[in-house]
Amino acid sequence: MAGPLTDALAWVVVASFLAGTVLRWRGNEHARTVMISAWGVFAIFWAALVPHFAFVQKSFVEGFLSLAAVPASLYVGYLLHQGRDSLFLLSRAIAVMGVVYLPFETIPALTVGGLSLPSPRHVLISHTTGQTRWAMELLGYDPTLVRGDQGYLNTFKFVTDGGHVILFSIILACTGLGSIAIFVGLIAAVEAPLGRKLRALAIAVPIIYVLNILRTTFIGLMFGKQYMQWFVDEVLFLFGGTDPYKVSFYLSDRVISQVLAVVALVGVTYLVVRELPELLTIVEDVLYIVTREEYDLREALDLPERGDVGPGAD
């Protein structure tokens, strides 16, 4: 996250969605009010992230998406107020996503009985770094691994032919956790047999994991070996940068990888809904939020009718 403020907001958001989910499950009349409030806080959370993504990370894709999420969140709250009850499902999914993601983002390293335990973030980053290093070595590269700013052994050191040192660090955003949390939340939220839920997870998680290692390897090599030094002046102007050595990073990460990540998420979603058609309720709601038009995707995707796929279907 961008800092302590957004970390705190994130926990408030997740707690609000969880509270609304519990109240909804218990049939409490205040569930709708709590969920509407949760979406309002969610809008504030995304607004706080816009400057970080747009100006600090210099990510046009994430900056645009976080900006678009502000009115979208407010609109979902409005639709819930108007009685679109299907959005309780999306709200429940976001609660689960937060429960999966936030411990890795916010829980620090602990000391128990004199034994120092690494933080969940450290464990995940170290694993991703190791897998990325393995992939680079498989392709015939052998960059030096050094400690980064956070004290982790998570930074690849490259040296150009001219002697310039380039450092590429694996951070939490490089682990694929965010995408995995999205699908865990979606799959957990719907009502379906456990067997089909597990099969859906078995489709989504390995694909995201492998694609993410390919992504970190691609970015690391393109940046470290300076393979994409194209249109240097234009790219620096576009991203507001001054370091010409970062052009390969901007192109490989901020442009190519982030655009392909969106395409990959759409593709994984298609594969998952083939196994778990109940997810189409959330997909159709998201499309309605974006386009203000109703959709019925089951016929287009050649899936069973709504009445044919129920809690007992396996």
Give the residue numbers marked as catalytic.
174, 215
Q: By C-alpha distance, which of 306, 276, 303 is closest to 193?
A: 276
Neighbours of 7 (CB within 10 A): 14
Q: How far is CA 159 from CA 143, 156, 162, 219, in A?
A: 9, 10, 8, 16
Show the DSSP H helices in the chain as ranges.
4-25, 31-51, 60-81, 87-106, 120-138, 177-189, 194-224, 232-239, 247-249, 258-275, 280-291, 297-300
> Number of C-alpha atoms within 13 angstroms, CB side, residue 35?
32
Q: What is the DSSP string of 167-225?
A: EEE--GGGTTHHHHHHHHHHHHHS---HHHHHHHHHHHHHHHHHHHHHHHHHHHHHHHT
Phi and psi, residue 301, nearest 5°: -95, 5
Q: Can you give 141-182 as a three-state secondary structure string?
A: CCCEEECCCCCCCCEEEEECCCCCEEEEECCHHHCCHHHHHH
Locate 260 and state its tokens.
């392909």
Q: What is the DSSP secondary structure assignment for residue 88, as one 8-state letter?
A: H
Chain centroid, CA 276 distance in Å: 20
Q: Is residue 169 a contact partner of residue 153, using CB atoms and an 8 Å limit?
A: no
Q: How far is CA 300 from CA 221, 235, 297, 303, in A?
A: 40, 40, 5, 8
Phi and psi, residue 82, nearest 5°: -80, -5
